[in-house]
Amino acid sequence: MALTACAASAASKGLAIDPAVEPPTFSALTRLLVVAPHPDDETLATGLLIQQVRAAGGEVQILLLTAGDNNPWPQRWLERRIRIRGVDRQRWGQRRLAEMQHALRQLDVPAQALRTLGWPDMGITEGLLQSGSGLLATLAEAIGEFHPSLIALPSLHDRHPDHGTAHVLVRLAVARLARSPAMLAYLVHGRTLGVRYVEICGSAGQQACKQQALSAYRSQMALSRNRLRRLAALPERYALVPPRPGQPASALPWLPPAWLQPWLRLSVVSERGTQSWRWRDAPLRRDGEGIYQLTLTSGLDDIPCFVRLAWDLHALWIFDHWGWHEL
């Protein structure tokens, strides 16, 4: 975990690593909670981190949000079927869960350390935006029961909607705790520019173990073997998440074209709940520089507070184009 080795590796790739940020140190007192939206996220994003915490004698819990059952193309390929029914999805989810259990054994994570929430794959965002879904309360309870000292969670900037929304849910859940644990955000889909990372570099043995754990995911390797192998071979990069952000700001990072605005929806989420509007009905104004500003009378003073811009139409492309932004 020497920062110098990681920094040298990152510098060769043109990545921004803050030399003032020390990588985390682990001990028998470390309690790591890995929040994984789908089976394989924990191995791809945190396989080295998990091994290093376990090697130091620390405790690890994996919180799996969905079974990854809404994963149709690998299932069609391996099962030689076009139509996927509910029973087929259920069987696929069971297969992916069994793969995950095998991968965790490779990473020295005991079976009882896996906790599954059973949320709908590709449905976490809808669940968060629906009042009364109970997702936030369930997650806050799970985090509170484990009492983590460190949480590895998906990045807010991850383009998979389940990942970005998982970040929002974890941040809101942690805000309810009396004491905030340290948080490290990992990115699986997409990339973030201008963000400084801490990198965790594993030994040759740890890298080999991570690749072996990844091999358990035969369902995912069928169509994406080379991409997943490349991802798993990289040092693990984490953005430090401040427990209490600074003063909220109302500026939005998006400038959608006028012709697209009738099909866009803007949502604001904080501890108080969710507010959502069609773009043309949202409380917005443009400042002198042409930047859209939210003009809510209340809610922007909540910390944390997040805003999401999305299509208000069903689309075949699953990844977010705009996604989430922290106000």
pLDDT (tens digit, 9 = 90+) per residue, 282-296? 999 999 999 999 998
pLDDT digits (tens, 9 = 90+) for 213-265: 999 999 999 999 999 999 999 999 999 898 666 666 789 999 999 999 999 99
Q: Is the pLDDT of residue 319 over 60?
A: yes
* pLDDT of res. 8: 45
**SS3 of residue 238 by DSSP:** strand
C-beta of residue 13 within 8 angstroms of C-beta of residue 166: no
User: Do the bridges between strand 305-311 and strand 264-270 make them parallel or antiparallel, or are there none, so unpaired?
Assistant: antiparallel
What tokens were used for 105?
A: 């054994």
Q: The whole model's pTM is what?
A: 0.91
User: DSSP H helical segments within 80-134, as ranges?
Assistant: 86-106, 124-129
Q: How far apart are CA 277 and CA 292, in angstroms?
A: 15
- Per the document, the length of the chain is 327
Q: Residue 193: what pLDDT?
A: 64
Establish whether the linkage from the previous residue to 39 is cis, with ω within 30° of 0.
Answer: no
Please name the residue ranges forming H helices in the chain.
3-12, 41-55, 72-79, 86-106, 124-129, 135-146, 161-174, 204-214, 218-233
Among 30, 325, 33, which Cα is nearest to 183's? 33
pLDDT value at position 64? 98
Angle between helices 161-174 and 135-146 (to 10 degrees): 60
| Separation CA 194–CA 206 (nearest Å) | 29
Residue-level pLDDT at 299: 59
The Cα–Cα gap between 122 and 129 comes to 13
